[in-house]
Every structure is written in structure tokens, then in C-alpha cells.
Amino acid sequence: MRTPSVLSIAGSDSGGGAGIQADLKAFARCGVHGTCAITAITAQNTLGVQAILPVDPEIVLAQVRAVIEDIVPDAVKVGMLGTVAVTNAVAQALAELRPGTPVVVDPVMVAESGAQLLEDDARRALIEQIAPRASVLTPNLPEARELLGEGAVPAEELEGEAE
């Protein structure tokens, strides 16, 4: 019997608490074979993000292509994109997936420490190119407000809806 595989497209967290590292641990715990395409290398720990180095968009696309031509993921999870160039490369990569492949998008914009993880010009690309391809979007409340724009519903009004 074939083990299901999931491709995570996200940043690398040196502290191991988020990004690719967290995704691969979650996949393993669920009995799923995890593969990855790294979009950024971060220097971070539980105290915050010290540095971010975006990965060249051509390398991001090459990583995805290497996985999809051989392992063929059963699903994809998209996390930190960082720059508009990487966001565009990931949009191109998603277009190359087998039709019907489920895509979960966690629109990572800001770290818990407050560090900016998505450039302002990449937000529009995320909204226009990545979000429409998502089977599921998993924003936190600040990310949901950013995605919805100015007229977003206040958190207090959403509390009853969540129950």
C-alpha cells in the first residue's frame, strides 16, 4: 500500500517551531510522507525572527517540479511566501500540479513576534494568484482581516459565529 504524500511549500524555521520543520513533523505524526520546497531561510527562535533570506524563485520552482515529477503529492500545503517573486513562482508551480490536487493555504504574513514575513507587494499576488487555487484557507484573525480588506468584521462579531 502506498503512503500518501504531502508537499509543503514554506519557509525554513531554524527554531523548528513553524514552517517546513513543523509541517514535516505534523505529516510524520499523521503517517504521511512529507516533501518540501523551501521559500525562505529564517534565523528565528522562540524570542523572534532575527533574519530572513528569500530563496531564489527559480530554485523554489525547481524544488516543486522535482517533487511533482517523481513523488506526485496527494496534497499541497502553502505557507510563508515572503516576496512577490517567490509568490509568482509558487503560483506557477501550483498550476503544474495534477488537476484536483487539494491545496491548503496558510497565508503567513506576520510572525507571532510581529516580524513581517510577507512583503507588501506580495500580498496582492497572494490574494490574486494563490488564494483562488486554495481548497482551504487557514488564516489567523489578523491575516483574515488583511485578506478581506477594510470592511472586515470585528473579532467580537465573529465569536458567536465560531460556536
18-67: pLDDT as tens digits: 999 999 999 999 999 999 999 999 999 988 889 999 999 999 999 999 99
Least confident piece of the model among 12-16, 45-49, 116-120, 154-158: 154-158
The CATH number given to whatever domain includes residue 20 is 3.40.1190.20
pLDDT at 145: 80
pLDDT interval class at 140 (50, 70, 90)? confident
Query: Could you tell me the residue range of the domain that residue 99 belongs to?
Result: 5-162
Task: Give residues with Cβ within 8 angstroms of 162, minimum separation 6.
Answer: none
Inform me whether the pLDDT recorded for 8 exceeds 70: yes
pLDDT at 161: 54
Give the angle subtended at the CA of 49 by the CAs of 125 and 15, to the nearest 5°.
110
**pTM, rounded to two decimals:** 0.89
Domains identified in the chain, total number:
1
**Residue 110 gets which letter from DSSP?**
B
Q: State the Cα–Cα distance between residues 10 and 12, nearest whole angstrom.
A: 7
Higher-scoring residue by pLDDT: 142, 30: 30
